C-alpha cells in the first residue's frame, strides 16, 4: 500500500472535534510515508485532512472538477493538483491512483463515494481495501443499516468483509495494510448458493 484516498465532508458547520479527527488521519497517513489522495478541497474536513498530511511533510494529491476549482474551495498548498472535467472523472481518477480508501464523517458526497467504491469492490472491479473511521460513533447508524440489509437478504455475509472499521487512525491504517479481499465474492455474480 503506497497511497490512500480519503473521502470526507467539506462543510464548515461540524464540531471542531471532527476537524481534529480529520487532521489526525492526514497526519497519520503522512507519517507512514503514504501518499494521500483526496478531492482537493480546502474547507471542512477536506481542508483539515490535507493540512494534517502536509504538516507532517506528506505528499498530498488533489483531484478536483473544474466547477469547484475556485480560490474559495480549492486547497492551494498541495503537492500536486489535477483539475478534471466532472465529478465522475474525479471519482474514477481517485480510484485509479489509490491503493486503499478511507471514509471519514461526511454527507451525501462522502456516502456516495464510499458506496460506489464498495460496490465496485463487491462486483470485482477492484480488490482494494476500504475503511471507515468511526470517529465519535458517526457511522454507527450506517453500520446498523448495513447489518439490517444483510439480515433482510440484500447482502451476503462476505460483503461485510469488504471494509474495515476503527475509531482511531493508526488502528484503521493497520487494518487497511493487513486487508485480505474476501473469498467467494463470485457467488454474488454467479448467483450460486
Taking only the tens place, the pLDDT of each residue in 78-124 is 999 999 999 999 999 999 999 999 999 999 999 999 999 999 999 99
Alpha-carbon gap, residue 59 to 156, rounded angstroms: 37
Question: Is a pLDDT exceeding 60 seen at residue 192?
Answer: no
Q: What's the grid cell of residue 51?
A: 493540512
pLDDT at position 66: 96
Beta carbons of 149 and 155 less than 8 angstroms apart: yes
Which CATH code is given to the segment(s) 3-138+161-183? Answer: 3.40.50.450
Measured CA to CA, the distance from residue 28 to residue 7 in angstroms comes to 15
| Pairwise CA distance, residues 8 & 16, whole Å | 14
Residue 189 has pLDDT above 80, yes or no: no
Q: How far apart are CA 77 and CA 107, in angstroms?
A: 25
Single out the residue of 1, 64, 74, 69 nearest to residue 35, CA to CA: 1
Kindly state the DSSP code that residue 15 receives in the 8-state scheme: -
pLDDT in tens, 33-84: 999 999 999 999 999 999 999 999 999 999 999 999 999 999 999 999 999 9
Asked whether residue 179 carries a pLDDT value surpassing 80, the answer given is: yes
Q: Is 161 exposed, middle or buried (0-12, 13-18, 19+ CB in 10 A)?
A: middle
Is residue 149 within 8 Å of residue 157, measured between CB atoms? Answer: no
Q: What is the pLDDT of residue 188?
A: 62
Report, as an integer, the average pLDDT of 134-150.
97
Using pLDDT thresholds of 50, 70 and 90, give the confidence band for residue 157.
confident
Among residues 11, 17, 37, 7, the alpha carbon closest in space to that of 135 is found at 17
Average pLDDT over the chain, rounded to an integer = 95
Query: Which of 167, 151, 176, 163 lies closest to 121, judged by CA?
Result: 163
Domain ranges of the chain: 3-138+161-183
Angle, CA of 122, 125 and 126, to the nearest 5°? 85
pLDDT band at 14 (very low <50, low <70, confident <90, very high): very high
Amino acid at each position: 500500500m503506497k497511497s490512500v484516498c480519503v473521502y470526507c465532508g467539506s462543510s464548515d458547520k461540524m464540531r471542531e472535534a471532527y476537524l481534529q479527527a480529520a487532521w489526525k488521519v492526514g497526519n497519520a497517513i503522512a507519517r507512514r510515508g503514504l501518499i494521500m489522495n483526496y478531492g482537493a478541497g480546502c474547507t471542512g474536513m477536506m481542508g483539515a485532512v490535507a493540512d494534517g498530511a502536509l504538516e507532517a511533510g506528506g505528499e498530498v494529491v488533489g483531484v478536483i472538477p473544474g466547477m469547484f476549482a475556485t480560490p474559495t474551495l480549492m486547497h492551494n498548498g498541495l503537492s500536486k493538483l489535477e483539475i478534471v472535467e466532472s465529478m465522475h472523472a474525479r471519482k474514477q481518477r481517485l480510484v485509479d491512483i489509490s491503493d486503499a480508501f478511507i471514509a471519514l464523517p461526511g454527507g451525501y458526497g462522502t456516502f456516495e463515494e464510499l458506496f460506489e467504491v464498495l460496490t465496485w469492490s463487491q462486483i470485482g472491479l477492484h480488490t482494494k481495501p476500504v475503511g471507515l473511521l468511526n470517529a465519535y460513533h458517526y457511522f454507527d447508524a450506517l453500520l446498523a443499516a448495513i447489518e439490517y440489509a444483510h439480515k433482510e437478504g440484500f447482502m451476503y455475509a462476505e460483503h461485510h468483509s469488504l471494509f474495515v472499521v476503527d475509531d482511531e487512525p493508526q488502528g484503521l491504517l493497520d487494518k487497511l495494510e493487513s486487508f485480505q479481499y474476501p473469498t467467494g465474492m463470485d457467488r454474488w455474480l454467479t448467483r450460486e448458493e
